[in-house]
Amino acid sequence: MSPTARSAPSFGTFYVPNDYVLRLAREHAEFLPVVSIHPARRDALDELDRCLAAGAVMLKLLPNCHDVNCNDPRYRRFWERMAEARLPLLAHTGGEHTVQVINVDYSDPRTMTQPLECGVTVIAAHAATKSGLGDTEYFHVWAEMLARWPNLYGDTSAWNVPLRGQHAGVATRGLIAERLLHGSDFPVPVNGLWARMRGFISDADWRRCRTIGNVIERDYQLKRAMGFGPEHFTRVAGLLRGGAPAT
């Protein structure tokens, strides 16, 4: 953690200022700035416009950890401004055990209804899967929402942990596959054992992938072995602000 990305109890488990992220992007062309703005901030719209002017390509929130009721009518203008700017929202959905959860009810992907109504492209991180045994499973809710909302997507971040990847069998075909995109959730551990135990990959693929030292490459290779096609790993480029339309 950098000195700027400091622990701040009043902000949650940790806090990384938008200025730090935007500066990294200015200094490193390969770094794409994804900012985070709580819509309840008094200056939320001003901060959004400032980040847009600085080149933000996406906005990230963890509603259950940031305690954001995305369906609160007070935030409607914030979502409308995001839609106008074609700034996508990457929102955590499903269980969470890495950072502190403030309101577990906001793990439900249906909390994304108002942003979707406003025209925001929403990526439901983890596709609303459960992380712990006691978590509510929302994957089926997210999957049912896809037919109604063409601007709703999901990602497969942390799908190589014990529980999240259990839906890989239905996630590589049809509408679900068309709306999923790759996410690594680095540095969350990556282990192909769970995919092998469920029959999603072969013994040979499991043995091959377990020797890959780079965990991001290992995650990629495991997902290819599960049946995710090349477009799964490039789809996000069409969703980012300033990117070509997604296919």
pLDDT of residue 247: 53
Cis peptide before 3, with omega less than 30 degrees from 0? no
- Quick one: DSSP state of residue 102? S
pLDDT in tens, 150-208: 999 999 999 999 989 999 999 999 999 999 999 999 988 999 999 999 999 999 999 99
Span 203-235, pLDDT tens digits? 999 999 999 999 999 999 999 999 999 999 999
Supply the pLDDT for residue 9.
Answer: 47
Is the pLDDT score of 10 beyond 60?
Answer: no
In this prediction, residue 67 carries a pLDDT of: 85
Per-residue pLDDT, averaged over 120-128, amounts to: 96
pTM over 0.85: yes
Does pLDDT of 141 surpass 80? yes
Q: Could you tell me which residue, 187 or 97, shows the higher pLDDT?
A: 187
pLDDT of residue 5: 36
Whether residue 69 contacts residue 63, with contact meaning beta carbons closer than 8 Å, is answered with yes
The residue among 138, 87, 140 whose CA lies nearest residue 115 is 87
Read off the pLDDT of each residue in 63-75 and give the average, rounded to a whole number. Answer: 89
Q: What is the pLDDT of residue 105?
A: 84
Q: Residue 7: what pLDDT?
A: 37
Beta bridge partners of 181: 155
* The predicted structure's pLDDT at residue 233: 98
Architecture of domain 18-238: Alpha-Beta Barrel (3.20)
Cα–Cα dist 202/204, whole Å: 5
Tens of pLDDT, residues 16-39: 899 999 999 999 999 999 999 999
pLDDT for 11 equals 53
Per-residue confidence (pLDDT) for residue 246, from 0 to 100: 57
Q: Which one is predicted more confidently, 192 or 3?
A: 192
pLDDT at 229 (0 to 100): 96
Please state, for a pLDDT cut of 90, what percent of the chain lies above it: 77
pLDDT band with cut points at 50, 70 and 90 for residue 84: very high
Convert 59-75 to b/e letters by CB count within 10 Å (16 or more is b).
Answer: bbbbbbbbebbbbeeeb
77 Cα distance to chain centroid: 22
Taking the C-alpha atoms of residue 163 and residue 133, their distance in angstroms, rounded to an integer, is 8
